[in-house]
Structure 1
Amino acid sequence: MQRLALFIASIALTTVVMAESFRVTDIRVDGLQRVSAGSVFAALPVRIGDYMDTVEIQDASRALFTTGYFSDIEIGRDEGVLVITVTERPAISEIVLEGNKAIKTEDLMKGLQDNGLSEGQIFKRVTLEGLGSELQRQYVAQGRYSASVKTEVIDLPRNQVKLQITIDEGSVASIEHINLVGNTSFSDEDLLELFELRTTGWLSWITSDNKYAREKLTGDIERLESFYMDRGYLKFTMPSTQVSVSPDKESVYITINIAEGEVFKVGKVELAGDPVLPEDQIRRLVLMREGQTFSQVLMTTTSDYITKRLGNEGYTFAEVKGIPEVNAETGLVDITFFIDPGKRAYVRRVEFRGNTKTKDEVLRREMRQMESASAASIAIENSKVRLERLGFFKEVVVETKEVPGTSDQVDVEYTVEEQPSGSIGASVGFAQGTGLVLGANIQQNNWLGTGKRVGFSVNTSQYQQVYSFNYTDPYFTVDGVSRGFSVFYRATDFSKINVASYSTNTYGANLNFGYPISEVERIGFGIGYTNMLIETGSSAVQEIKRSPNLYEGLAPRYITESNLAILTGLVDQAGLNPGIGPAPDLDFSELLDSPENTLNNPDGFIDANGDQFDSFPFTLSWAKSTLNRGQLATRGASQNLSLEFSVPGSDMEFYKLRYSGQYFQPVYKDFTLRFRADLGYADAYGNTNGLPFFEHFYSGGFGSVRGFKRNTLGPRSTPAASYRTVTIGAQDSNSDGKYDTFDTGYLLCETSKDVIYKTGAEVCLQDKAVAQVFGSDDLPFGGNVLIEGSIELLFPLPFIEDQRMLQTAFFIDSGNVFNTECGFYQQNCFDVDLSRMSASYGIGLTWISGFGPLTFSLSRPFQYNPEDEIETFQFSLGTAF
């Protein structure tokens, strides 16, 4: 009305009223600054040669006002010339926002632009005032009742203005009380548990659940209604909801009035419409039975199940609606599911968007929904899941679109978001327990977008040097048979990673194949060749190389501790250095003892089997995965069972059986439980004397039992030792009265002493030669039985919007390594005994960043064995460039 009044007044004051019409011979526009004359002529409903009177002049004025460019218009006549004088509205030179935090500046600017207020546009004050009121309403909806929005228009030269918008957001009003009135069947506590809004609690400063927001209250009311409807309260209503604000606008009081009504039972369940499928198949999808309490969620779920079943048959646009018919007198609800299948739809095209690196054919071969075939919901969804499991994409979204002009065709469009799937070029990293990692590498699980896995690496760390090449084609055949091969050379010093002191030089090659046996299962087998050379020093532990050993060139003569005391007394009586004449020879052979098997210590692995081996390992495996993602999965399960054994006739004959599995169970919203288990058993067969020690299982550290140093759980090795030697005879070879030649032998223990086999200790066992331990203290040696498990609660990090590349968890880890054939001196070595399991709890974080995976954990052991090595903080990180 104001605009109309302004327009009428403008016409009355500025329009030259002409009683007579005239013919327009020319048109002149005065007062233009930024608006072009062409824009005026385009809007003007008058052309040269037209006749004009009062009505046409009013129409022309109205048309020019409608453009919004002008604040004033005057129309006059100079004989046959139509003269139009305009006053342009000012242009917006700059928009300044101050004080906003809850609503981002970009969002506010977009809202201004959508309403016609942006830099360079014509300024309309009425639009600015309306927008200020809208911003005020948005802040009120967030519970910021004290918020205020002030707008200021600052005039600038050349008919321009600057818009200054100052916002005082205030603070979100806190909920002081939520009052439920009328509920008799359920307590306030039970119902308020459904609410996202809460009164102030001790965690509210983190969760902000006590901050009022209109959208949250609407959601809470809907959940409350669903709660009652799912329990048969079909007549449930909420007559009123009041939200009161305190005078200081800092507190909110919410009152919800409830009318519960009666509980209704299910009467008849009927099918109507055109089910298309046999009725018995549809009936099996119905979740409601006669006599049970009515549940709205069961009714809607049944509709969804039937819709999906029809979708699997190609009826993509099927509609199924559950219609309840309430009988208040009997308390029964008759339910009719009306089925409208629509036409069977066929897929015209399957299209892909967002795959900037990965080739279309890599995505297309994962499709289970074919073009020209009928559209099946399960095939479309299964295709989406298979794309997610590749591990190439951060997110996969599928959309089914109707083909314009048809009623039975659809296009299926998959939109993916690429994520890092490997590293190319130089690499640098650091991992706790392995140290600095340097090298040049190419490791891509999606090589040049082909989906093939290719790797070449020259890497070095403080414990290992690796040169390797590997290649795997997951679609060697169109049926999904995979083929891969690898060649490698690896030099490893295990003493650097908390493993018994030895090093290996290994080279070899492998060839493997994998066969799909279902959508989620594969079996595989591989054959390889390995040449290994083991190197040990003088401090090699006894399980690897026999220790102690006889001294080279020293005759195996022994003397007991008692006879050594007698010998010492006789030497004192004879005098070692008479000083005149030749010293008499001291021969105490009658005092020497020669017990059998004194030095017959058990052979180490190398003593029994040698230090260089040619082996032909063969591997059989079975894998099943229903995980939703290739990396950082959050639902589904995976299992892997493998058997590796060396082909009979190899220099080493052994086998290893291993199982690993994980299962994800959603518990609440974005909270998920993850269960993990790793089991292993290994042993030797044939002519090999014991399981090769370099095939042992180890436990502790990342991917195992956090809170303990890497590989430090389980059996320890026996340090190297040397036999103690003593003088058992002396001669004066040059007759100068001084003994210059001495006979040496081994000291024999008469009575065992209770000693711990540690560095510097003397080991004395009855009828055995006395040994002194000189090697490093017992180091982790692993075992042939592995038992590990963990429970994790995955949860989202607060204040981070994109959680797809992050995973955080509270965890409890437990595990250990056991050995069914422990050595005599081995520490911390036990046969399988679950009471010896080590365990810890803590929090962990994994981030798949552009620099590579970063993993951290902070943990505390609560069950451990005396030899376990604790490590509270652990991390691993790397980068590729």
Structure 2
Amino acid sequence: MKRSLLTLLLATLLLPFAGLAQAFLVSDIRINGLQRISAGNAFNALPISVGDEVDGVTVAAATRQLFRTGYFKDIRMDRDGDVLVVTVVERPSISGISISGNKAIETQALLDGLKQSGLAEGEIFQRATLEGIKMELQRQYVAQGRYDAKITTDVRPQPRNRVAISINVGEGSVAAISHVNIVGNSVFDKEELLDLFELKETNWLSFYSSDDKYSREKLSGDLERLRSYYLDRGYLNFNISSTQVSIAPDKERVFITVNVNEGELYRISDVKLAGDLIIPEEQMRSLLQVKAGQTFSHQVMTSTEELITRRLGNEGYTFANVQGIPQPNEEENTVEVTFFVDPGKRAYVRRISFIGNTKTQDEVLRREMRQMEGAWASTFNIEQSKMRLDRLGFFKEVNVETPTVPGSSDQIDVDYSVEEQASGSVSASVGFSTGSGLILGANVQQNNFLGSGNQVNLGLNTSEFQKVYSFGYLNPYYTVDGVSRGFNVFYRTTDYDSTDISNYSTDSIGGSVRFGYPINEITRLGFSFGPEKLHIKTGSSPAFVVDEFVDSEGSNYLNWKAGISWTRSTLNHGLLPTRGNFNSLSAQVAVPGSDTSYYKLNYSGQIFFPLTRKLTLNLKANLGYADAYGDTNVMPFFENYYAGGFGSVRGFSDNSLGPKALSTDGSQDSIGGNILVETTAQVLFPLPFIKDQRSLRTVFFVDAGNAFSDDCERSSVISNCSNVKFSELRMAAGLGLTWITAMGPLSFTLATPIKDESGDDTEVFQFALGQSF
């Protein structure tokens, strides 16, 4: 019986070649059934040529060879005399691929993956490939925690031996984590360890953070953080013995269990240096953060490797390799750490190039370079140059690469790639009011004028009560070593008689020349000097403070103003920084010989603190003090500080806070004070569902501030006047958004006062174009 079955099987397999059992000499070859495949390709794939002697075995091997090309789904070979006849049925080609139902994975990403696997329009269709891709897609969705995802495919025949493929994706929902458990820990509490995890059990914030959505990649990252946590605290032999991920029958809940083996605590017995140190050993040892007697920490060891590598990189050894090798002593639970130093060859910079600066001139970028061509490659100088480009505020992003020069073992190129963004602002306004009539305004500020790196601003605002004309210019590289020079001129007329603000008017004209001198990479000194001519005209019912000052000091003033400033900045970006700090001290004085004598002292500062991987705390302060001196008895009211509004205490109207003065008609108007206190605490957070947030900033803020006066005894100042008191600070909280548009920063805030007084003017919604926060 078995022999009969075997005979039948062999007969079936050899049936297509029954007519070719006897060997013959091929005089010609004929291929039938070709449609898209060219005859040349078919003959090249056929391992039989005219003149060859063939038999059944040879033909069977040739058939297999043709099948391997993947072009044919059926092949038959026959003999017509001495002619070999090959009849083929081609596989269909793909006329098109459509994908529907996918959201978590973009369509283009799916099409690119299909193309890499051989499924694309015009390619030969193979069902086995489609089934393999279907299973791979299913695995990708499972890796995202979408256990109920379903992938269905449909292959529809088309004319001319083609097929259309439709892939329908039912992504399902991401399974939520119901429980996470760690087993085997005794040194650290479970809660302490679970705080390290990005994946969390479902909580009240999960709807926003989606931290309860299971993902295989996120779990791998959490396990790596857990491993690093133990290794950084001396548990050298810590390991994760197993991880179980259980899925509920409804496929909507996930249970995670992590089994750990903590091992013993290890301390450092000795620290050694080996290899070619290049720099003096004393300097090298000063970089060691690993000390004998310390608890072993993998993080500290890695940090030491980076410090030594960076130090060697600063000396031009760009390809230096530093490796910390721990050698544990299992009996004493100690570890000896040896840092092996291989400096490699000193590298030199062949060329520095810039990519992406379509508007900014190459010279503007090159003058920020601290790394020079032809000099040895310094890691510090290369990074310092990148930071200086970032601080210009011209670019959304700056990246640097240091590829090796082909054919050279000691040369590199330094390539900076930049992505330009709006580096200025344009604002215009058109309005109408019964008191002011038609209001027109235009302001243009360009920090990178025509790509030259120079700053230019031009302003024109006109209405029935105010006209302002201004022009400013600054060349940040007046000299090649970074001394800046600039100037500004202005003309301003303000007539408040037709408004309810105050009953006086001013005409002023002036200008100044400014110089800046760099002390080092992060610190500058600034100097300014210029005149201002001011004329005050009192109206029918001016504030008593105005009348008192004009009666005492006159109505015409020519003041020569001199200023000096000190600025220190380590901010990482010119427009929307996220780390570093900024401090600025400035003093301005109306020099002796001016018609009024006064001075103003100002401090401005901010600092960034990372709270989590996504949240950053930003603290700000703005302080000011002004006073009269010499023959001037009272601080000029037109130089007072005001508080409230955008850029000050948000949630309150512009310039509405601080002392108010009585006017001759019995009304009260803001008059400002000689002391300013403004503080801000804000948390920077990313907007959900937006991938590119480099041009966006969203914050939750709390502002506090006010304008104060140390001369509140005058009867004409009747309300909201006090010396600096915490109880008199106004406070507001809210949300803010800044978007860097083509016309400059566009900012919005929604704020509500959390500490105000009766009579304060509040505003819930405020916006500004050309100003960020």
Q: TM-score, normalised by structure 1?
A: 0.81
**Displacement, 1:849?**
2.5
Which amino acid is 2:199 matched to? L
Contact 2:505/2:539 (<8 A) preserved: no
How far the C-alpha of 1:22 sits from its partner, in A, is: 3.8
Q: CA deviation at 1:154?
A: 0.8
Could you tell me whether the CA contact under 8 Å between 1:705 and 1:813 is conserved in 2?
yes
Residue 418 of structure 1: how far off its partner (Å): 0.8
SS in 2 for 1:401: coil
Match of 1:482 in 2: 484
Partner of 2:158: 156
| Corresponding position of 1:875 | 767
Give the aligned partner of residue 355 of structure 1.
357
Letter in 2 for 1:666: P
Partner of 1:140: 142
CA contact (8 A) 1:24 1:52 kept: no
The aligned residue for residue 376 of structure 1 is 378
The code of the aligned residue for 1:641 comes to L
- Cα deviations across residues 470-492 of structure 1 (Å, max 9, x unaligned)? 22111111111111122222233
Select between 649-658 and 407-416 the one with higher mean Cα deviation: 649-658
Secondary structure at 1:543 match in 2: helix
Kindly indicate whether the alpha-carbon contact (under 8 Å) linking 1:347 and 1:409 is maintained by their aligned counterparts in 2: yes
Q: CA deviation at 1:41?
A: 5.1
- Show the 5 A alignment for 1:84-123: 84-123=86-125
Greater mean alpha carbon deviation, residues 502-511 or residues 413-422: 502-511
Cα pair distance change 1:381/1:778, threshold 3 Å: same
Q: Which amino acid aligns with 1:13?
A: P
Residue 39 of structure 1 and its aligned partner are, at CA, apart by 4.1
Cα drift, residue 94 of structure 1: 2.2
What SS class does the counterpart of residue 668 from structure 1 fall into?
A: coil
Identity of aligned residues (%): 54
Query: CA–CA distance in 1 between the matches of 2:756 and 2:438?
Result: 29
1: CA distance between counterparts of 2:498 and 2:19?
100
- Give the aligned partner of residue 778 of structure 1: 668
The answer to which of 279-288 and 821-830 deviates more is 821-830
Tell me the distance in 1 between the aligned counterparts of 2:689 and 2:624.
41
Residue identity opposite 1:621 in structure 2: S
Contact 1:605/1:689, CA 8 A, preserved across alignment: no
Task: Note closer, same or farther for the CA distance 1:235–1:295 as it changes in structure 2 (3 Å cut).
Answer: same
- Confirm whether residue 844 of structure 1 aligns to residue 736 of structure 2: yes
Q: Distance in 2 between the 1:102 and 1:803 partners?
A: 19
Confirm whether residue 810 of structure 1 aligns to residue 690 of structure 2: no
Instruction: Give the direction of change, closer, same or farther, for the CA distance of 1:385–1:42 in structure 2 (3 Å limit).
Output: farther
Change (3 A) 1:495 1:849: farther
Q: Give, as a single letter, the amino acid of the residue that structure 1 aligns with 2:16.
A: L
1:398–1:413 CA contact under 8 A, matched in 2 = yes
* Counterpart position of 2:70: 68
**Counterpart residue identity of residue 370, structure 2:** R
Q: Tell me what 2:593 maps to.
A: 649
> Counterpart of 1:792?
682
1:303 to 302, 305, 319: 305
Distance across 1 between alignment mates of 2:265 and 2:249? 41
Indicate the SS of the match to 1:304: helix
The verdict on how the C-alpha distance between 1:31 and 1:377 changes in structure 2, with shifts beyond 3 A counting, is: same
- Determine which of 687, 691, 701 is the counterpart of 2:635: 691
1:859 equivalenced with 2:761 (yes/no): no
Q: Partner of 2:54 in structure 1?
A: 53
Work out which of the residue numbers 382, 393, 396 in structure 1 matches 2:395: 393
Conservation of the 8 A alpha-carbon contact between 1:16 and 1:75:
no
Distance in 2 between the 1:143 and 1:462 partners? 65
The CA deviation string for residues 593-647 of structure 1, in whole angstroms up to 9 with x for no partner, is xxxxxxxxxxx22223332333322221111111000011111111111222223
CA contact (8 A) 1:500 1:717 kept: no
Aligned length: 755
Contact 1:500 1:781 (8 Å CA) reproduced:
no
SS in 2 for 1:803: coil
Task: Assess if the C-alpha contact under 8 Å between 2:661 and 2:670 holds in 1.
Answer: yes
- Which stretch shifts more, 176-185 or 858-867? 858-867
CA contact (8 A) 2:430 2:441 kept: no
Deviations 1:737-773 (A, max 9, x none): xxxxxxxxxxxxxxxxxxxxxxxxxxxxxxxxxxxxx
Contact 1:670 1:796 (8 Å CA) reproduced? yes
Q: Which residue of 2 aligns with 1:832?
A: 724
1:673 aligns with 2:617: yes
Residue 102 of structure 1 deviates from its aligned partner by 1.8
Q: Letter of the aligned partner of 2:609 in structure 1?
A: Q
Q: C-alpha offsets along residues 120-139 of structure 1, whole Å, 9 cap, x if unaligned?
A: 22212111100000001011
Aligned residues of 1:350 and 1:371 also touching (Cα < 8 A): yes
Give CA deviations for 1:691-716 in whole Å, capped at 9, x if unaligned. 22111111111111112211111111
Quote the offset at 1:846 in angstroms.
1.7
CA positional deviation for 1:318: 1.0
Number of the residue aligned with 2:266 = 264
Q: Displacement of 1:848 after TM fit? A: 1.6
Aligned equivalents of 1:304 and 1:33: distance in 2? Answer: 63
- Matched residues in 2 for 1:217 and 1:663: separation? 34
Alignment partner of 2:656 out of 706, 712, 720: 712
d(CA) in 2 for partners of 1:678, 1:272? 52
Residue 200 of structure 1 corresponds to which residue in structure 2?
202
SS at match of 2:202: coil
5 Å-filtered alignment, 1:513-552, equals 513-545=515-547
Equivalent position of 2:16 in the other structure: 13
Conservation of the 8 A alpha-carbon contact between 2:744 and 2:770: yes
Map 1:493-642; keep pairs closer than 5 Å.
493=495, 500-545=502-547, 604-642=548-586
Letter of the 1:158 partner, please give it: R
Match of 1:445 in 2: 447
Cα distance change, pair 423–659 in 1 and its aligned pair in 2 (3 A): closer
- Superposed counterparts of 1:200-239, under 5 Å: 200-239=202-241
- 5 Å-filtered alignment, 1:235-314, equals 235-314=237-316
1:314, distance to aligned residue in structure 2 (A):
0.9
- Measured in 1, the distance between the counterparts of 2:654 and 2:48 equals 88
1:25-57 per-residue CA deviation (whole Å, 9 max, x = no partner) reads: 6x654433333445445555667x664635776
1:850 is displaced (CA, Å) by 3.1
SS in 2 for 1:485: strand
- Cα distance in 2 for partners of 1:617, 1:631 equals 29
* 2:267–2:293 CA contact under 8 A, matched in 1: yes
Q: What's the offset of the Cα at 1:158? A: 1.6
- Aligned counterpart, 2:459: 457
Residues 550-584 of structure 1 show CA distances to partners (whole Å, capped at 9, x for unaligned) of: xxxxxxxxxxxxxxxxxxxxxxxxxxxxxxxxxxx
How many angstroms apart in 1 are the aligned matches of 2:740 and 2:320? Answer: 41
3-state SS of paired residue (2:133): helix
Residues 252/655 of structure 1: CA separation in 2 closer, same or farther (3 Å cut):
same
Q: CA deviation at 1:114?
A: 1.7
Q: Deviations over 1:259-296 (max 9, x none)?
A: 11211111111111112111111111111211121111
The match for 1:574 is none
Q: CA-to-partner distance for each residue in 1:42-98, whole Å, 9 max, x for gaps?
A: 555667x66463577667655544443332344556667665443222121222222
* Counterparts of 1:43 and 1:854, CA distance in 2: 65
Whether the 8 Å CA contact 1:428–1:436 is kept in 2: the answer is no
For 2:614, give the aligned amino acid.
D
The RMSD of aligned alpha carbons is: 2.8
User: Which residue of structure 1 lines up, in the alignment, with residue 605 of structure 2?
Assistant: 661
CA–CA separation in structure 1 for the residues paired with 2:437 and 2:229: 55
Aligned partner of 1:53: which letter?
A: V
Letter in 2 for 1:698: Y
Structure 1 residues 302 and 618 mapped into 2: Cα distance closer, same or farther (>3 Å)?
same
Rounded Cα–Cα distance in structure 2 between residues aligned with 1:542 and 1:419? 49
Identify unmatched segments of 5+ residues in structure 1: 1-7, 546-603, 721-773
Letter matched to residue 825 of structure 1: S
